[in-house]
Structure 1
Amino acid sequence: MRVKDEHKRQAIVAHTLDIVSEKGFAGIKMSTLAKRIGISVSTLYVYYKNKDDLIVSIAGELIARITKNSVQDITEDLPFKLRMKTVWLYWINFSINHSKEMNFITQVKKSPYYEKIPTTIIETKNRIGTELFELGKKEGLIRDIDNEVLEATIGALLYETVNLIINRKIQLNKKDTDMMFSFVWNAIKS
């Protein structure tokens, strides 16, 4: 069995993100990817069994890492509203500063690949959001409505905030992010 080189694996991931950003999943051809990286196709297959394995593995890795990082600054003593804002700001920053990764994850979520991601990764991601929403409901701070509705509301405002920043209508600064988070909070508070 051939030894896997972490730098080579990272190059595979980076070039896959580039291709998906440019052409979507249909643009991924293992031979083209290998050529783009400067490795043989057989070397690429040492790292990933096939295109599905490549996409699902990268998606799982990204979602696990992002989920973990999104709550790293959350502590038990942090008030609920500040917890929500911390997570929201993490996602704003991630969406802007890691647009290829965000694009990849967004496409995965809308595809059959999402169902192939290990359930432990998805369950961890979902549990963090559910626990946060349930805490807010328990404390009487946010509306006691379905978590999917809360997530959709927050997600829509997050998406539009990112677009406003990218299109330079607002800035990624305290004043503007406070303003946008106030819309989020007003939409979900009880």
Structure 2
Amino acid sequence: MRHKDEKKSKAIFEATIKLLNEIGFSDISMSKIAKVANVSSATIYVYFENKEDMLAKLYVKVKEKMSQQMSKGLDESLSSQELCEQLMRNSLDFIMNNKDYFLLLEQYQHSPYVERLCLDDTSSMFVGLYELFDKGKQKGELKALNTMLLLSYCYLPVTHFAKTVFKGQLEGSEENFQQIIRMSWDAVRS
């Protein structure tokens, strides 16, 4: 068995992200990834069983990074309003500083690959976040709705905001972001 080199593994992941964002799932191949990563096609199979294994591991790795960033500084000491705002700020920070990862996750979200690769259940990465929102519901600070719905109203407006900023349709100012935060809080508070 060949020795696994962390630099090669990273190059493969980065090449895959780049290509998926440029050409999408339907046109990606192991040979194209190998060429961009500057490795042989055979080298990729040292790290991954096949293309599906690589795409699944890439998705999980990026989703884990997002989960870690989104959960940063969130704990029981925050009020539900502070929790929502910090979650939204963390989400925006992740998206703006990791545009390629964000665009990749957007592609997975709109692709049959998530279902085909059994990737739709990554909710365990967000257990702590769900628990904090559940406590907010128990305190009566958040609406007594499904936690996933509440989280959607804190995350999806941020993604839409970021996309409009990326497209140059809206200024990514603090003032504009504060408006998004206020609208989201109005939607989830009890």
TM-score, structure 2 normalization: 0.87
Bigger mean CA deviation after superposition, 128-137 or 164-173: 164-173
Matched pairs, number: 188
Asked if 2 retains the 8 angstrom alpha-carbon contact of 1:165 and 1:172, the reply is: no
Partners of 1:10 and 1:117 in 2: how far apart?
23
TM-score, structure 1 normalization: 0.87
Return the offset for 1:29.
Answer: 0.5
Q: Which residue matches 1:171?
A: 172
Over 3 Å counting, the alpha-carbon distance change for 1:172 and 1:10 in structure 2 is farther
Partners of 2:72 and 2:155 in 1: how far apart?
20
Over 3 Å counting, the alpha-carbon distance change for 1:129 and 1:73 in structure 2 is closer
* Amino acid of the structure 2 residue aligned with 1:179: Q
Return the offset for 1:172.
Answer: 4.1
Over 3 Å counting, the alpha-carbon distance change for 1:5 and 1:59 in structure 2 is same
Q: Which residue matches 2:3?
A: 3
Partners of 2:79 and 2:150 in 1: how far apart?
19
Q: Which residue matches 1:103?
A: 103
Percent sequence identity is 23
Superposition map of 1:39-54 within 5 A: 39-54=39-54
Partners of 1:152 and 1:123 in 2: how far apart?
13
Partners of 1:163 and 1:38 in 2: how far apart?
31
* Amino acid of the structure 2 residue aligned with 1:44: I
Asked if 1 retains the 8 angstrom alpha-carbon contact of 2:67 and 2:126, the reply is: no
For the pair 1:186 / 2:186, whether they are aligned, the reply is yes
* Amino acid of the structure 2 residue aligned with 1:130: Y
Query: How far does the alpha carbon of each residue in 1:112-166 deviate from its partner, in whole angstroms, 9 at most, with x for none?
Result: 43343578x7142342342132122111111111233323333331222213433
Bigger mean CA deviation after superposition, 108-117 or 143-152: 108-117
Greater fraction helix? 1
Superposition map of 1:132-171 within 5 A: 132-166=132-166, 167=168, 169-171=170-172
